[in-house]
Amino acid sequence: MQVKFPDVNLLALWPVIALVVTALVLLVVVVVRPRLEGAFYALLTLAGLAVALVLTLIQAGSTPISTFAGTWRTDDFAVFFTLVILAASILAVFLSEDWLRLHNVGQPEFYTVLLCGTVGMITSVSATDVMTLFLGIELMSVPTYLLTGFAKHERTSNEGAMKYFLLGAFSSAILLYGLVWAFGVTGSTNMDAIARFVANGGGESRPAILLALLLIITGLGFKVAAVPFHMWTPDAYQGAPTVVTAFMSVAGKAAAFGALVRLLTQAFPGLSGDWGPVLVVLSVITMLLGNIVAIVQNDVKRMLAYSAIGHTGFMLVGLSTWSPSNRFGAASVLFYAFMYVFMNMGAFGILAWLENHGGGTTLDHLDGLWSKAPAAATSLAVFLLGLMGFPLTAGLWTKVFVFQATAQAGYTWLGVLMLLISAVAAVFYLRVVVRMFMFEPKLAIASPSQPLMVIGLAVALIGTVGLFVLFTPVLEFAERAVGIGA
Amino acid sequence: MTPPLEWYLIFSAALFTIGLVGVLVRRHVLIIFMSVELMLNACNVALVAFGRHLDTLTGQNFVVFVITVAAAEAAVGLGIILSLAHHKDTVDVGEMDILKQ
């Protein structure tokens, strides 16, 4: 057995290095200057994230770099998801500063954990080796458990964190067992080597490969919140501080989808005839349950948690249509993840803003918001219409392209079902809008100054509306990332 | 003579199943957590067995990462359990019922 030192090309890692350095600097600063006034920590974190964003943009379009003995690849796919994740992290910092300040929660610690989670997410979408992929998923999950429980004096936050942690660790173990079997049967942890092994269906070891695949889909099914592996989602999303919910429902989901798409299309492309139908079933029950249970929710935060489950279903529809000859399904998932950042972060951001104003997140709290805070009410309406897939918002294109993917793959019935369920979903999105604009206000709100949050919400709003017009570059990038026209 | 690969795999599958059932049926947070650890260790057994069978270091390499991850998870998990126990003197998941529809 020969062991040689692997090749290391740090060029591929600059964004990650920028984030890790920022996290370490924050940790040092907290020892030297534990309680700085103002938004110093938030601005420092934003600076680190901005540097990472610029470095990622530089990587976009350049030749893919494969490094660390083929365990890490910075290609268009990784760059696309890295941009999605960084955008979500940047918005999360903008939205969270005010909450942290008002609740006197340790800011530098929060940002350090957030940055570590971001690094984990980037790792899980850049991994081309199942070992690295598992590490990335864990480096994403463990900080997210911490963020969920960050409001440690509130029992809901504790309870959400506990449930999320137990089911998260459980799902990681299932995912790991699947990866172990994939390694044991194919003899390699490298995704390309696994793909070569399963290219002809796996031969004699086909049952073991299918078992591994099933375990992997189950494990990642928990992470993307697909029914029937969704039970942690409503509790964790409702219990977590609202800004954390925004972050994990967008960035965590994007990273888990990135890992799922990468694994299925790069390690198991030869088995797309086997995992495709499984995903079709998962997507149908996920869409149905997520959107129907959302209707009966009285708490808008919990309603959006179920709506997030429903969106997982829509994204799974896109992925389930993927085959080596028809890759548009994967592109529609990437496109969806990008647009979802602005709409969902915005919607949760408005809820966080309301909570900071002494309000709550139930429908009663939103009654007549228009007369008290017209800007907030209008923004929330735009975000909800976006999530609904209404024209003039980027949300329309997410549905259109998933539908196009189903039509191209001959799954038109699935696309039609998706559109029907979207129409049902309009019920609960529009109900919130109606109550904001037509009901009488019941509760008073205080108005502390929240400059950073307003900037974050403005960015989300501009993204939701602006990308309705400027969606073409995003779609082209998504297509390139999944190997269309390459 | 060393035992064949199958024995290790059956042992690992048994451990994994015990862990899985433990998570699903037990109500005590620490026992559930222990069951998850059991599942991770079942993965480790399978990894070492596969690595030895395939004559590659990758299996053991992977195990080192899994152990590290398990340690990190334990640190965070016990922290969360402690913080919850401060508020409510229980470690029974059946009594965690504020969050539900």
Stretch A375-401: mean pLDDT, rounded? Answer: 93
Token pair of A445 as six digits: 């709100």
Determine the pLDDT at residue A156.
Answer: 87
In a domain, A258, yes or no: yes
Determine the pLDDT at residue A455.
Answer: 93
Determine the pLDDT at residue A439.
Answer: 85
Nearest-by-CA chain A residue for B88:
A155
pLDDT above 80 (res A288): yes
The runs of H, that is alpha helices, within chain B are 5-25, 29-54, 58-87
- Binning pLDDT at 50, 70 and 90, where does residue A368 land? confident
Of these ranges, A58-62, A123-127, A155-159, the one predicted with the greatest mean pLDDT is: A123-127
Q: What are the CB-based long-range contacts (under 8 Å, 24+) for B10-13?
A: B11/B45, B12/B42, B12/B43, B12/B45, B12/B46, B12/B49, B13/B42, B13/B46
Determine the pLDDT at residue A2.
Answer: 65
Q: What is the percent of chain A with per-residue pLDDT over 70, rounded to a whole number? A: 96
In a domain, A432, yes or no: yes
Q: What is the rounded radius of gyration, in angstroms, for the C-alpha atoms of chain B?
A: 17
pLDDT in tens, A300-338: 999 999 999 999 999 999 999 999 888 999 999 999 999
Using an 8 Å CB-CB cutoff, list chain A residues near B57.
1, 3
Contact call for residues A349 and A460 (beta carbons, < 8 A)? yes
Q: Which residues pair with A67 in a beta bridge?
A: A72
How many domains does chain A contain in total? Answer: 1
Determine the pLDDT at residue B101.
Answer: 40
Task: Identify the residue with better confidence: B96 or A79.
Answer: A79
Stretch A229-233: mean pLDDT, rounded? Answer: 92
Stretch A18-40: mean pLDDT, rounded? Answer: 86
Please check whether residue B61 touches A, CB under 8 A: yes
Nearest-by-CA chain A residue for B84:
A158
Using an 8 Å CB-CB cutoff, list chain A residues near B76.
142, 145-146, 165
With a CB cutoff of 8 Å and minimum separation 6, the contacts of A121 are A81, A85, A136, A140, A251, A252, A254, A255, A258
B82 three-class SS: helix
pLDDT in tens, A79-120: 999 999 999 999 999 999 888 888 888 888 899 999 999 999
Contact yes or no for A152 and B83 at CB 8 A: yes
Contact call for residues A367 and A433 (beta carbons, < 8 A)? no
Determine the pLDDT at residue A107.
Answer: 85
Nearest-by-CA chain B residue for A162:
B80
Query: Could you state, in order of their start, the residue ranges of all structural domains in chain B?
Result: 5-87
Distance separating alpha carbons of residues A165 and A403, to the nearest angstrom: 35
Query: Three-state SS across chain A?
Result: CCCCCCCCCHHHHHHHHHHHHHHHHHHHHHHHCCCCCCCHHHHHHHHHHHHHHHHHHHHCCCCCEEECCCCEEECHHHHHHHHHHHHHHHHHHHHHHHHHHHCCCCHHHHHHHHHHHHHHHHHHHHECEHHHHHHHHHHHHHHHHHHHCCCCCCHHHHHHHHHHHHHHHHHHHHHHHHHHHHHHHHCCCEHHHHHHHHCCCCHHHHHHHHHHHHHHHHHHHHHHCCCCCCCHHHHHHHHCCHHHHHHHHHHHHHHHHHHHHHHHHHHCHHHHHHHHHHHHHHHHHHHHHHHHHHHCCCEHHHHHHHHHHHHHHHHHHHHHCCECCECHHHHHHHHHHHHHHHHHHHHHHHHHHHHHCCCCCEHHHHCCHHHHCHHHHHHHHHHHHHHHCCCCCCHHHHHHHHHHHHHHCCCHHHHHHHHHHHHHHHHHHHHHHHHHHHCCCCCCCCCCCCHHHHHHHHHHHHHHHHHHHCCHHHHHHHHHHCCCCC
Determine the pLDDT at residue A447.
Answer: 66
Tokens 């209707």 sit at which residue? A295
Q: What is the percent of chain A with per-residue pLDDT over 90, rounded to a whole number? A: 73
Stretch B3-14: mean pLDDT, rounded? Answer: 93
User: What is the fold, at CATH topology level, of the domain defined by B5-87?
Assistant: Helix Hairpins (1.10.287)
Determine the pLDDT at residue B90.
Answer: 66
In a domain, A2, yes or no: no
- CA–CA min distance B28, chain A (Å): 11
Determine the pLDDT at residue A448.
Answer: 65
Determine the pLDDT at residue B97.
Answer: 65
Using an 8 Å CB-CB cutoff, list chain A residues near B87.
155, 158
Q: What does pLDDT average to over chain A?
A: 91
**Ranges A6-10, A12-16, B60-64: which has the least confidence:** A6-10
Task: Identify the residue with better confidence: A129 or A364.
Answer: A129
Angstrom CA distances, A27 to A24, A210, A304, B48, B69, stand at: 5, 44, 33, 37, 21
Contact yes or no for A177 and B42 at CB 8 A: yes
Q: What's the DSSP call for residue B55?
A: T
pLDDT in tens, A404-435: 999 999 999 999 999 999 999 999 999 999 99
Token pair of A39 as six digits: 């938004």
In a domain, A1, yes or no: no
In a domain, A486, yes or no: no
Contact call for residues A449 and A353 (beta carbons, < 8 A)? no
Contact yes or no for B83 and A149 at CB 8 A: yes
Nearest-by-CA chain A residue for B22:
A170
First vs last Cα of chain A: how many Å apart? Answer: 38
Please check whether residue B50 touches A, CB under 8 A: yes
Domain hosting residue A315, numbered range: 10-481
